[in-house]
Structure 1
Amino acid sequence: MTESTVPEGYSPHFRKSRFTNPWEPLFSKTLAREVSIGLVLSEAHCNSRGLVHGGLIASLADNAMGLSCVAALQEDGRGAPGGLVTITLNTDYLGSARIGQWLATDTHFVKAGGSICFADCLVRADGVPVARASATFKVLQAG
């Protein structure tokens, strides 16, 4: 898979940071209560055995679940929070991914409470689950 074969619905990721810059190009797809993040895996994303690094998987899942919680809060008419802070992040690795595959998140559950949000997601390589993750986030007040 190459950048020119990024799945339909994905566009360059709208949120940039110094932490994720080395992984570019990142892509995202935004739905009502979900932000999916994806990328075509290259050497920069892998360990010495050519497998995607678990830290990359966990970081993408954390990012996607946090952005999905923000989308859910906004969908619920609560406006944009002052940000979210990860309280817990659990990642179970189910398989491996390799250079050239499309890696993407699928946040399939978001519960937005008053000051805490919960989310679960699957991370897939070419559609096959390679990890599942769950997280709890503290909602920060705007201003």
Structure 2
Amino acid sequence: MTESSVPEGYSPHFRKSRFTDPWEPLFSKTLAREVSIGLVLSEAHCNSRGLVHGGLIASLADNAMGLSCVAALQEDGRGAPGGLVTITLNTDYLGSARVGQWLATDTHFVKAGGSICFADCLVRADGVPVARASATFKVLQAG
């Protein structure tokens, strides 16, 4: 898969980070309460066995769930938080992903309390589930 075959609705990711710089180019698609992040997998994303590293999959899910929580909080009229901090991140690996596949998150905002947010995520490689994740985030106050 090449950049020209990135699925419809995705555009260059709006958020840059030193942590995710090595994964570039990243793409994202934003809906009302969901941010999906995707990328075309390359050798740089692989472990010594030639499979995409589980740490990349977990980190991608963590990023997408956090951004989805921010989107949901803003849609609910709570404004932009000062940030989110991951309290728990659970990841179950269901399969493997390989070089050349399109890896993307399918996130679901679950609930927000006064200072805690919950989200779920399914990570797919070319549409096939390779991991599911859930996370709890601490919502930091702005300012």
TM-score (norm 2): 0.98
Q: Determine helix, strand or coil for the equivalent of 1:87.
A: strand
Secondary structure of the 2:18 match is coil
In the alignment, structure 1 residue 41 sits paired with structure 2 residue 38: no
After superposition, give the CA deviation of every residue in 1:60-85 in whole Å (9 maximum; x if it has no partner).
00000000000000010110000000
Answer whether contact 1:72 1:110 (CA < 8 A) is retained.
Answer: no
1:3 Cα deviation (Å)? 1.2
Q: Which residue of 1 aligns with 2:103?
A: 103
TM-superposed deviation, 1:2: 1.0
2:136 corresponds to: 136
Q: What fraction of aligned residue pairs are identical, expressed as a percent?
A: 98
Contact 2:38 2:105 in 1 (8 A): yes
Q: Deviations over 1:73-104 (max 9, x none)?
A: 00101100000000000000000000000000
Q: Give yes or no for contact 2:72–2:109 (8 Å, CA) kept in 1.
A: no
Q: How many residues are aligned here?
A: 143
Once residues 38 and 70 of structure 2 are traced to their aligned partners in structure 1, the CA distance between those partners, rounded to angstroms, is 18
Deviation at residue 48 of structure 1 after TM alignment: 1.7
C-alpha contact (below 8 Å) 2:65/2:108 kept by paired residues: no
Distance 2:110 2:6 in 1: 25
Structure 1 Cα separation of the partners of residues 41 and 26 of structure 2:
10
Tell me the TM-score normalised to structure 1 length. 0.98
CA distance in 2, matches of 1:109, 1:72: 7
Residue 49 (structure 1) shift: 1.7
**2-structure distance, mates of 1:12, 1:89:** 26
What secondary structure sits across from 2:51 in the alignment?
A: coil
What do you get for the CA RMSD once the two structures are aligned? 0.7
Cα offset, 1:108, TM superposition: 2.4
Q: Work out the CA distance in 1 between the residues paired with 2:11 and 2:85.
A: 25
Contact 2:11 2:27 in 1 (8 A): yes
Give the distance between the partners of 1:75 and 1:114, measured in 2 at CA: 15
Deviation at 1:109, TM superposition (A): 3.6
Find the aligned partners of 2:112 and 2:43 in 1 and give their Cα distance.
36
